[in-house]
Amino acid sequence: MYIKYIKSEPPSDGFGNSNANDGRLLSSSPGAGTGGTATGNNKPAPGPPEEQQTLLAVLQFLKKSKLAESAEILRREAGLPEDALDPKGTDASGSGPGLAAGSGQVDGVDASSLLSRVTVSSSAAAQAPKKDSSLAACFYSLSASPDQPDVSVVLSAYSQQGDPSLYDAYYSGLKRFIESVLDCHRAELSQLFYPLFVHMYLELVYNNNESVAKAFFEKFSGDQECYYEQDLRILSSLTKKEHMKGNETLLDFRTSKFVLRISRDSYQLLKRHLQERQNNQIWNIIQEHLYIDIFDGMPRSKSQIDAMSGSLAGEARREANKAKVFYGLLKEPEIELPLDDEDEEAENEEGKPKKKKPKKDSMGSKSKKQDPNAPLQTRIPLPELKDSDKLDKIMYMKESTKRIRLGSDNLPSICFYTFLNAYQGLTAVDVTDDSSLIAGGFADSTVRVWSVTPKKLRKVKSAADLNLIDKESDDVLERIMDEKTASELKILYGHSGPVYGISFSPDRNYLLSSSEDGTIRLWSLQTFTCLVGYKGHNYPVWDTQFSPYGYYFVSGGHDRVARLWATDHYQPLRIFAGHLADITCTRFHPNSNYVATGSSDRTIRLWDVLNGNCVRIFTGHKGPIHALAFSPNGKFLASGATDGRVLLWDIGHGLMVGELKGHTDTIYSLRFSRDGEILASGSMDNTVRLWDAMKAFDDLETDDFTAATGHIHLQDNSQELLLGTYMTKSTPVLHLHFTRRNLLLAAGAYNP
């Protein structure tokens, strides 16, 4: 097992020379790692955080940790005198050790061994989150670049400033300029408003110009795009320098460069203007805090820009979505289909070969030529099929022959499971693949499992009773089950907080639940007891999901990292770090090689399970993402957010390919039908909506240009794609599930 931190070194173009020592420091840092954890969150820097003082503090710290070599390098780099390290400021950094233990608990893994494995990939702009990444934090604190969460150092970048009273003039000057440029450039340059506004405001606040800052905010906050409203609200509450310490939103802004995509022409225009006006203030901000992704070609239109913007840190850089993704499906193992079942008996002789043939064809075609987009079968190790799994596969195939072909004129029936008397306490729902069990997670920390078939839930007898069983008998598997306590409902107790995520294993033997208490629990559905509590997230875990092949599962939570676990390891196998805010939902790709995570930072990321890299970043949502669904063929991803929109993504090209508007509230569930013809979405607005997924993906024209530039033209065809809207009485739709025969199951709690 090895863990990998994904981290990016920001391209050096925007940084100026402070970045020059990055590489060297990185190489010298592993040794610093063990002690470095102490700097994480609690390094107090009470005085005016001037660059020099910070450096001194760092130096002192290094010295204290007996890292003389690193200290020396840093001292030389910073050009500080030899005697800068006298101990008069020791008390400042000395308060660390008390908390060091707390922040140092990086999953109990030896830090130095971890660090030696850290690789630097340039694909993702990453911010190291919280405790897990305190190691990362120490990197950054060493590098003294602005890209680190040690607040005082981060903020110190704000200290160089011009005349506060001129900010207003600067901003309005730019505004006037942008309003006066040609239409084709205006939309592109307007993207600058928001990041500039935020950074200027923060600079004002940082330099204790409270009233100026307030006036600045009031004057210009109304101009910002409406989808930034939530962030603006947070910003508006920040009025004091003290508040800026420890504010996560702020850190996000500082640590990740806001990414803008601007055509070369527009950029030149802007540059010329700023140089003419000698508007250094704004130029500095652009240089330091923004990342401008310049492309050649036509400037984009307003609608194109709006479709992609909205995320916390701007759009994804183009190169972030360039990596190859093997989105094809894995080859299904060939299973001999026994024909001697009672089902077949009823059929006549011709029925048998007929039945077998299409299956053979489909199987055969798959096995013959390997899909070029599919990952190698052995790319990640998958659990071997057990006999019971094979039986289940056979069941699955049988069922799928009876599957109804859905389409725009053949809509699925919807069966709605309503949770009554839940008193607003239902927080998560899952249904097994064969639709025999349904589980609910509740705010009262319980997990409840219902059987929705006549078969009751039975648990294995107690050890004493098991001793009495005749172990040689044929029906021993039946005998070990306790008939007496069989019931339709089993309640699992164990969590100590609301259960926010729940997932059945594909073989129906296990159930995962993730909770506010920071743990993920694995429950056995044979004994109805808790088997493992996976600890690692120290904050609420918002979602968890089993891999479609079992064994692996993924979780994501408030600590901004997603973790990949295997059921037999108590520590995570991979940590996916990079999101700038809570991870709200996690989904496995059907081929189990990738994991998609949706976040409150309004981006979706796709992670490679094999190496832990972030291979796709999708921006475009205007609110936290609460639902994700992969199409059954693995090519597409659908995502739903609090803004009530469903966005469709082409994974291979890394493009947004559709937008489905219609819901009026948060979308909590998305699901493709078994053959991918229909996308169902369920929302807080008490509706289930069905969308024509075939049409949405068919109309797609991904010519080379769009693919290369990532500029999309979305048609507004939501109304044509909407096939049906079904209101419930007063039941938000929390979960959707297509049975193997394409009957749609929906679930939610009645809210009187």
Question: Among 684, 693, 696, 714, which residue interacts with other proteins (rule: CB under 8 A)?
Answer: 684
Binders of other proteins in range 232-261 (CB under 8 A): 232-234, 236-240, 242-243, 245-247
- The span from the CA of 578 to the CA of 532, in Å, is 27
3-class SS of residue 193: helix
Among 422, 447, 629, 646, binds other proteins (CB under 8 A): 422
Touching other proteins, residues 329-388 (CB under 8 A): none
CA 314 to chain centre: 16
Residue 14 DSSP SS3: helix
Least distance from C-beta 95 to other proteins, angstroms? 9
Q: Which stretch binds other proteins (CB under 8 A): 3-11, 405-413, 587-595, 606-614?
A: 405-413
Of the residues 35, 96, 104, 412, which one makes contact with other proteins according to CB under 8 A: 412
**Minimum distance, C-beta of residue 345 to other proteins, in the bound complex (Å):** 30
Nearer to other proteins, 175 or 214 (CB): 214
- At 666, which helix (H) or strand (E)? none
Comparison of 473 and 664: residue with beta carbon closer to other proteins:
664
- Residues 427-446 touching other proteins, rule: CB under 8 A, are 427, 438, 440, 442-443
Residue 178 CB burial class (10 angstroms; 0-12, 13-18, ≥19): buried
Task: Find the shortest distance in angstroms from Cβ 108 to other proteins.
Answer: 21
Strands 722-727 and 687-692: antiparallel
Choice from 415, 481, 486, 700 touching other proteins (CB under 8 A)? 415
Please answer whether residues 699 and 719 qualify as being in contact, where contact means their C-beta atoms are separated by less than 8 angstroms. Answer: no
Using alpha carbons, select from 667, 678, 673 the residue that is nearest to residue 733.
667
Q: Which of residues 78-107 bind other proteins (CB under 8 A)?
A: none
CB of 444 to other proteins, least distance (A): 10
Q: Binding marks (x or -) toward other proteins, 587..626, rule CB under 8 A?
A: -------------x-----------------------x-x
Give the DSSP H or E segment for 96. Answer: none
Contacts with 484 (C-beta within 8 Å, 6 or more apart), sequence order: none
Single out the residue of 29, 544, 666, 742 in contact with other proteins (rule: CB under 8 A): 666
- Check binding of 448 to other proteins (CB under 8 A): yes
Distance CA 403, CA 412 (A): 11
Q: By CB neighbour count within 10 A (0-12 exposed, 13-18 middle, 19+ buried), where does 376 fall?
A: exposed
Which one, 606 or 680, has the nearer CB to other proteins? 680
* SS3 label, residue 102: helix
Cβ partners under 8 Å of residue 557, min gap 6: 514, 518, 537, 539, 540, 541, 542, 543, 582, 583
The contact pattern for other proteins, residues 714-743, with x = CB under 8 A and - = no contact, is -----xx-xxxxxxxx--x-x---------
- Cα–Cα distance list, 435 to 134, 207, 449 (Å): 43, 60, 12
Among 14, 44, 494, 548, binds other proteins (CB under 8 A): 44
Nearer to other proteins, 448 or 635 (CB): 448
Residue 553 near residue 503 (C-beta atoms within 8 A): yes
Stretch 155-214 residues interacting with other proteins (CB under 8 A): 214
Closest to 588 measured CA to CA, from 698, 677, 506, 697: 506
Please state, in angstroms and as integers, the Cα–Cα distance from residue 562 to each residue in 7, 545, 576, 583, 735, following that order: 14, 11, 5, 7, 22
- Round to whole Å and give the CA distance between 357 and 337: 11
Of the candidate residues 104, 129, 328, 540, the single one contacting other proteins (CB under 8 A): 540
Smaller CB separation from other proteins, 48 or 372: 48
Nearer to other proteins, 416 or 570 (CB): 416
Q: Which is nearer to other proteins, 12 or 221 (CB)?
A: 221
- Which of positions 502-531 make contact with other proteins (CB under 8 A)? 516
Nearer to other proteins by C-beta: 30 or 96? 96
Q: Which is nearer to other proteins, 118 or 205 (CB)?
A: 205
- d(Cα 142, Cα 146) in Å, to the nearest integer? 11
Q: Which residue has the tokens 């005085």?
A: 47
In whole angstroms, the minimum distance from the beta carbon of 387 to other proteins comes to 32
Nearer to other proteins, 72 or 231 (CB): 231
Decide whether 234 or 294 has the Cβ nearer to other proteins: 234
Residues 207-236 that bind other proteins (CB under 8 A): 214, 217-218, 221, 229, 232-234, 236
Give me the least distance between CB of 65 and other proteins, in Å please. 22
Residue with tokens 């508006």: 236
List alpha helices for 622-717, DSSP H. Answer: 693-698, 704-709
Count of other CB atoms within 10 angstroms of residue 685: 18
Bridge partners (DSSP) of residue 410 are 407
Q: Report the site for other proteins in 48-67 (rule: CB under 8 A).
A: none
Site residues for other proteins, 475-504, by CB under 8 A, read 497-498, 500
